[in-house]
Each structure stands twice: as C-alpha cells, then as structure tokens.
Amino acid sequence: MKREEILTLYHSNPDSIASYIEDFEFRYKALEFRYKVLEFRYKVLESQNIEFRERISELESQVKFKDARIEALESQVKSKDARIEALESQAIEFQERINELESLLNQNIQSNKKPPSTGTFIEKKPKTGSSQEGSSKRPGGQKGHPGSTLNQVEDPDEIIFHRLHKCRCCGRNIEESEAIGYKTRQEFNIVVMRKVTEHRAEIKKCPYCNCKNKADFPKSITKPVQYGITVLTIAIYLRNYQLIPYNRIRIYMKMSLDLR
C-alpha cells in the first residue's frame, strides 16, 4: 500500500491499520523462524559434506592401498608361476630318472631269473654259511618293541625366520610390529654330516585390528619335523639303484648320520 492510502485508512479505520501491522509482524516472525530453520539445516548439510569429503578421502586412500596390494599379489603370482614351471621341469627330470632306475632294476631282476645255461661262465663259490644267524622271528618290527619316530631337536644347526609383512585381515603393514610367538617346523637334511634346519614362522598381532597373523612356511615344509630332499634322494638311490635292503639303509642312516 502507498503512504497516502495508509494515512487515509488510518484516519477512517485505525483498527484495520492495527490488524494490518499485527499481520505483518506475524508474517515477519514466521519468515524469521523459517530463516533460522534453513540456517540450521544448512549447517547440518555443511557438516555432513565435510564428513563425506573425509570419507571419500579415506576411501581413495584405501583404494590406492588396495591397488598397491593387487600389484604386489600379481607379482607374487608371477613368481609362483615361474616357481611352478621350474618344479614341473624338475618333476619331469625326476620321473625320467626314476624310469631309468626302474629299468635297471628290472634288468637285474630278469638276469637273476635266467637259468644257469644262459648265464655267464663264472664259477660260483660254494656257500660257507651266512654271517647272520637265522631267526624264528618274522620280518619287521616285533610286538612290544619300543617305537621310534622323527622328533624336533632343541638345538637346530640353522634357524630361518619367515617374516610377516602385511596383516592378512586388514592388509596394513606390520613389519615393525614385535612378534608374539613362532610356529616351528624342522627339516632334517644331510650336508656331509647331519644338519637340522629349523623354520620359524612369525606370529604377529595386528595393532590396528587385533588380527592374529602367522607367516607361511615353505611349500616343502609340511610337518613339524621331516627329512629333507637330500636324505630322501640318498635313500632312493641306495634302494632303487644300489638295491640295498631297507633294513640296511635304516642301519646306515642311524649309525652314520644319526637319523632314525
């Protein structure tokens, strides 16, 4: 309304002017309240926006870490593939060697089965008796005899530590965390004389998520105590190539190398 209209209305009807002012004041307060509500909602949204930005930054950091972890795993996979190929190649060589030894063994067996007329002209020496007296016992372990097995030793010749680098639960670096224990496995091997290698896999507790982690043992170490590849190779050689009985091989391993 214009000023002249307000003055005319005031002189003619003051009550209407008072009502108009009261209505205006009510509408002003309503707008003021609405403004405060909008201002409060704006602050809430602004706070949420800050939280969202922080969360986005955290997620981006996790994505970068996961990408690095994926690259590391891909590198490990490539390394494992190369190792598998090398082991497969070794397995083929071992199989060829086994076939060769089995062929020699079969030839020896066949030559022993030939009748005297087809053999070589070698005069057989008369038997003068065996150095080992006969026994009424059946071959093998006797009932009630004390058993023996391969046990871990307290003083291994060599200790190899297998370290932990990442937490298996949350993926974070725990290299600097102190180990809370070790899981041990021992591999008995031969290097001129008996050599016991103890493998210790670290056990660590993640300081971030409290997950308990244990390092991996090598693939070839599957038991708490076992023979190494050198011992197995010698045993196979003595049995399949030299045709030495199992009992004599066992005696040799025990007396010469202190292996049971």
Q: What is the pLDDT of residues 63-91, one digit of tens each?
A: 988 888 898 888 888 888 888 888 888 88
**Helices marked H in the chain:** 3-12, 14-113, 229-236, 246-257
Q: What is the pLDDT of residues 213-235, one digit of tens each?
A: 999 999 888 899 988 888 888 88
Write down the domain spans for the chain: 3-75, 152-260
pLDDT given at position 61: 87
Q: What percent of the chain is predicted at pLDDT more than 90?
A: 23
- What DSSP state is assigned to residue 144? T
pLDDT given at position 204: 94
| Tokens 């053999």, residue located | 119
Lowest model confidence (mean pLDDT) among 7-11, 138-142, 235-239, 256-260: 138-142
pLDDT given at position 182: 93
pLDDT given at position 117: 46
Residue 241 — pLDDT band, cuts 50, 70, 90?
A: confident
pLDDT given at position 22: 78
Averaged confidence pLDDT in the chain: 80
pTM (two decimals): 0.33
| Tokens 């680098």, residue located | 165
Q: Residue 205 corresponds to which tokens in the numbers above? A: 């507790």
Q: Residue 203 corresponds to which tokens in the numbers above? A: 């056990």
Q: Residue 119 corresponds to which tokens in the numbers above? A: 């053999």
Q: Residue 25 corresponds to which tokens in the numbers above? A: 């004041």
Span 170-186, average pLDDT? 92
| Tokens 């896999």, residue located | 201
